[in-house]
Amino acid sequence: MKNLVDKLYETHNLEDSELKLLLEADGSIDEYLFSLSDKRRQEIYGKDVYLRGLIEITNYCKNNCYYCGIRCGNTKLERYRLTKEDILDCCEQGYNLGYRTFVMQGGEDPFFTDDYMCEIISSIHTKYPDCAITLSLGEKEMESYQAYYNAGARRYLLRQETANEEHYRKLHNASMSSEHRKKCLFNLKEIGYQVGTGIMVGSPYQTTENIIEDLRFMQKLNPEMIGIGPFLTHPDTPFASEKNGSLELTLRLIAILRLLFPYALIPSTTALGTISPMGREKGLKAGANVVMPNLSPTRFRKLYSLYENKICTGEEAAECRQCLEKRVQTAGYQIVTAVGDCIRSDVKPSVK
């Protein structure tokens, strides 16, 4: 097994059968795997960890994904939308805390028309020309993505969720398809966005073969960022009684991603911190190099409930910032703010 890890470190790739062995190996390989993924990470990024301030702009969603707590079929959830002014307030707080990237994420909410989104994006862009604007608003038409880009957005996060059509259909209703989601990702690339994709680890019906297919899809797409986290149940979804994904497999996959995509920006996600109190620290040690503190107004945080027991829903933005700073330090790394946040890391070519 160590030979496989060495090969992965040296060649940035493995055969499908080798990936399967590694993904299904017992925990005894992890120490060695994480030592090499951390080595690779430090060769490229040193001990730097980048901050992305997350603003959850709406929990309205027209989709009905079986895993997600903000699905339109969840009638128990109180819905909210931030106004443009709310969002600009979040950015101001974030800017003062040292954030230079703002990520606007939300359900697919038609209330945010392209015109309104563009107005918001260009206001942020004008006020904070030194900041990067990232969007995570789901599947849109090419024209919409282009309009957001023209308004000043430069990054887009859209997890593939699963690259396998059959698996995709088990997680979503018939109006959605893996094919369309992939098309969106290639459209974003074509426009010139820096693209983030990813999967939930341990989503219902996921097989090792599915994960390998996901990795192959990522190699084709060549994303700048790859976000993964364990699948976590939400009581008011059709998957309420499914099993949560595992911390161990998520960490192992972070390490594999670091070795397959040495230059990728890999967040240590909130879902990882939710499944285990030290999950995010462990993620950083396995190869992750980004954290995404929450900047949403505290009064709405609990309502952006993708899954149960989501952490960081009680704190103010400043507390989140301090807490993460400590966690990053505990793990042995350092947060980088201002310069370097959005420039240095993003121009690196990907290595195949």
Contacts to ligand SAH by CB under 6 A: 67-68, 105, 107-108, 136, 138, 158-159, 161, 200, 229, 231-232, 234, 271, 306-307
Comparing C-alpha atoms, which of 244, 168, 248 is closest to residue 210?
168
The DSSP code for 348 is P
Contacts of 179 (CB under 8 A, 6+ apart): 165
Rounded Cα distance between 211 and 205, Å, is 11
Q: Which H helix or E strand runs over 218?
A: helix 208-221
3-state class of 194 per DSSP? strand
Distance CA(85)–CA(8), nearest Å, equals 48
Residue 49, phi then psi, degrees to nearest 5: -125, 130
Q: Which two tokens stand for residue 314?
A: 């009680």
The SS3 call for residue 78 is coil
Q: Which pair of tokens denotes residue 337? A: 């703010």
Torsion sign over Cα 228, 234, 240, 241: positive
Instruction: Identify residue 204 by its one-letter amino acid code.
Output: P
3-state DSSP assignment of residue 45: helix
Integer angstrom CA distances of residue 110 from 59, 115, 119, 256, 325: 12, 11, 15, 37, 36
- C-alpha closest to that of 86 among 349, 294, 297: 297
